[in-house]
Amino acid sequence: MAGVIAESEILETSAPGQGTIGVVALDTYGKIAAGTSTGGKGFERIGRVSDSAMPAGNYATCDAGASCTGVGEDIIDECLAPRIVIRVGDGMSLRIAMEKSLTEAGENKRDLGVIALSSEGSIAWGKTSNVLLAAFHNGNNIGDTLELKSGIQIDCI
């Protein structure tokens, strides 16, 4: 939450330096960018490379972009961001690519979440974890994932 939340009770209970900030954006020229920053959970092995520092955790092409959060090893094992983006590039809709990828991740008992955007402007989010906090703006509407139920959930606008 990066310490920018106005509610003091949330700031008091949030651990600073933890959590993931992910973004996927489509500009007016049709270019897509994805980025992910994480504080990590701590106590990682020396020399470990985070999923946020590799395509597994965030990836974009001219067709789609995705940013992931969750257990880094799970995201890396699933190669989640490129899996979704490549499926869109191969002709799947963003919704179907997300459903297929998150169903597979759930079957593999992965703990993760992802936000994604297609070049047509479709916005999708999904998770196998208990919580995924995300917000979106499509140029007209603003929304969030605060009402997502526990378990595997996927939604798309």
Q: What is the pLDDT at residue 16? A: 53
C-alpha span between 109 and 146 (Å, rounded): 23
51 annotated as a binding-site residue: yes
C-alpha span between 76 and 149 (Å, rounded): 25
> What is the domain count for the chain?
1
Does 91 fall in a domain? yes
Mean pLDDT of 111-135: 90
Does 92 fall in a domain? yes
> CATH number, domain at 147?
3.60.20.30
131 annotated as a binding-site residue: no
Q: Tell me: pLDDT of 46 over 50.
A: yes
Q: pTM of the prediction? A: 0.82
139 annotated as a binding-site residue: no
48 annotated as a binding-site residue: yes
Q: What is the pLDDT at residue 20? A: 77
- DSSP 8-state secondary structure symbol assigned to residue 154: E
Within 10 Å of residue 83's Cβ, how many Cβ atoms? 18
Does 1 fall in a domain? no
Q: What is the pLDDT at residue 140? A: 87
Q: What is the pLDDT at residue 4? A: 39
70 annotated as a binding-site residue: yes
Active site residues: 20
Q: Tell me: pLDDT of 25 over 60.
A: yes
Mean pLDDT of 70-80: 90
Does 2 fall in a domain? no
Domain encompassing residue 80: 8-156
Q: In three state form, how does the secondary structure of 50-92 look?
A: CHHHCCCCEEECCCEEEEEEECHHHHHHHCHHHHHHHHHHCCC
Contacts of 15 (CB under 8 A, 6+ apart): none
